[in-house]
Amino acid sequence: GDDVLEETARLPEILDSAEIAKRKDCRNVLTFTIDPIDARDFDDAISYRELKNGQYEIGVHIADVSYYVEPGTALDEEAYKRATSVYL
């Protein structure tokens, strides 16, 4: 409903520097989504890069949806109704 749209309109499009400092910043790493073309959520990805020591690193990336969806909000309730994946 409208309350969900209002909540999503208030979500930040860019993480602030304090939040970025808490995470490993992989924005400069070449990353590819591994979700199928008909996926509703493009939230899984892998990356590949050569390290300075000559070894290779393969990264597995999963979107942190919980950062944006707070428990008990209208967005949380709507997400629960639409859920298609559960990670335990």
* Per-residue pLDDT in tens (0 to 9) along the chain, 88 residues: 789 999 999 998 888 899 989 999 888 999 999 988 888 888 899 999 999 999 999 999 998 888 889 999 999 999 888 877 666 6
DSSP string, 27-72: TTS-EEE-S-TT-S---EEEEEEE-TTS-EEEEEEE--GGGT--TT
How far is CA 32 from each of CA 10, 15, 58, 59, rounded to the nearest angstrom? 28, 21, 11, 10
Contacts of 43 (CB under 8 A, 6+ apart): 35, 62, 63, 65
Contact call for residues 61 and 26 (beta carbons, < 8 A): yes
